[in-house]
Structure 1
C-alpha cells in the first residue's frame, strides 16, 4: 500500500490542521507498521494486529477497502473520517479505545485506522455478552423506536449483514422504514438472548436462516425460541411484529410504540435511566 497523502510530522513537532488547531489524529504511512495477524473480517475490510516498526508497540488496525473492492460498493469515507475524528476527540478516556494513526491510499482509496490493541484480545461484545432483562430491553427499544426529530429512518442505513431484511436479501432495492424495523427486531432478540439472532457469513446463509425462522413461525403460529421462554406475551407480540417476513405486514415504529408492551412511563422502572439518544 502506498504511503499516506500526508506525512507524519517530524519528531517533537505537533502536527497542525485547519485553523492552527491540534489534530484529533495523525497521518502516517502503512510502511511504519508490520502486519502480524488477522483478528477479524467484515464486509468492507478486516481488522488485524500490527507492530509499529519505530516503537515496537502492537496496535489494532481497522483496514477499509476503497473504491468498492469486494463487490459491496465504496465505503462511506465521510463516516470513516467522522469515526476517526470522534475517537480522536475522546482520546484519553479510559473506557474508549485510543486512535493512534490514520493512513489513506490515494490510488485505491483504502483507509486504515490504527488503534490501541486491547490487552487480552477480547472485544467489548465478548466481554459484555449476556442477556438483557425484558425491562431494560423494553426501555432501550422504546428509545430506538422513538427516533429523534429530524432523523428519518430512511437515512439510517443497515450496513451489517446479520441485520439485513429478507426482502433486501431477495433483491428488493427499496429502502424504507420496514427495513429498519427488521433490524430493530434483530437487535431486540439479541438483547434478550445475549447473542445474535442469526449466525451467517454470506447472504445465502443468512437467507436460509431467515427461512428457517419463517417456517417455524408458520408451523407453530408464533415466535417460539428458547431464549423467549421468560418473555411476556406482550413483548413477544412486539418482537413477532418486528420480525414479520412480509414487509407490508411488519409493524411500524408508531404502531410498536402504541403497543401495550410500552404502557409504562418511559424509564419508570430504572431510577438511573439515561437516554440512549442524549
Structure 2
C-alpha cells in the first residue's frame, strides 16, 4: 500500500517515519508538512520525497499516516478520507468533539479504513491482557494513573504548544481510556473532574457495565514518580496492566498491519475513528467540568 506521511515534528521523525520505512507492506511514498523546509529535511533523513502540496501527495498514495498536532489533524484527515485514502491517525483524534465527529463521519461515509494509534493497544503484552480482562464481567472498580514528566529534562515534547495548552487530560488521557473502555465498557457519565498540581487532573467515570474508575493524569509529575499503572478490582481479585518491552516504532508497525487488514477485509478495527471520537467526547466532557464555574452542579 502506497502511504504518505503528514507532519514533520519529533513524533513524525522518530516514530511514524521509521515505521513507514520499515513496514514490509507499506511503500513510504513521501512526506508533507506545513513547513516545506521541515518536510525536505525529514524526507532526506528517511530516504523519501517531500511534497509541497498536500493534494499532490494524496494523488500519489492510497493511505496517509498523520502525525500532526490534534488541533490540526481533523481537516487534512477529512480531506484525505474524501479523496478515498485510508487513515492511520494519532491520538487524540481532535481536541473538540465537533472536529473528531467530522473525521468519523467522513470515514463512515467514504468507507475508508481507519486506525487511531493508541500506543498501548498495539503492544502485544497489553493487547493480550486487555482481551483477557474484557472477557470478565464482574469488575467493580479501576484506577488508572498515567504520569509523565514531559516538561522536565530534555524531552523533545517539552516545547509542544498543544501539550502546554491542553495538558495531561488530552495527551495521556486517551491512553488511559483506550485501556479502560474495552474492559469496563463505555462511559455513561463523567461524574467529577478536578485539577491537581501542575497540569494534573483527576477524573471519575461511571461505566455502562456498572463499574467506576478514577483517572489521575499528569505531564508535570516529578521524574522519579513518572509511570503508568492501571489496576482492576472485581470478583476475580486484583490485576494490573503488564509492562511492555516494545517501543513506539514496533507498536506503529502493528498499527500498520491493522490498517492493511481493515482495508483488505472491510472490517473496522476496534481502534477506528469511531472509537477515537468516543474517547474525544469523554475527554471533552471532563474538560467541560474542569472549565465549569465553581459550585456548578456536576452533570
Does the alignment reach a TM-score above 0.5?
no
- For normalisation by structure 2, the TM-score amounts to 0.27
- For normalisation by structure 1, the TM-score amounts to 0.29
**Structure 1 or 2: larger helix share?**
2
**Structure 1 or 2: larger strand share?**
2
Which of these two proteins has the greater Rg computed from alpha carbons? Answer: 1
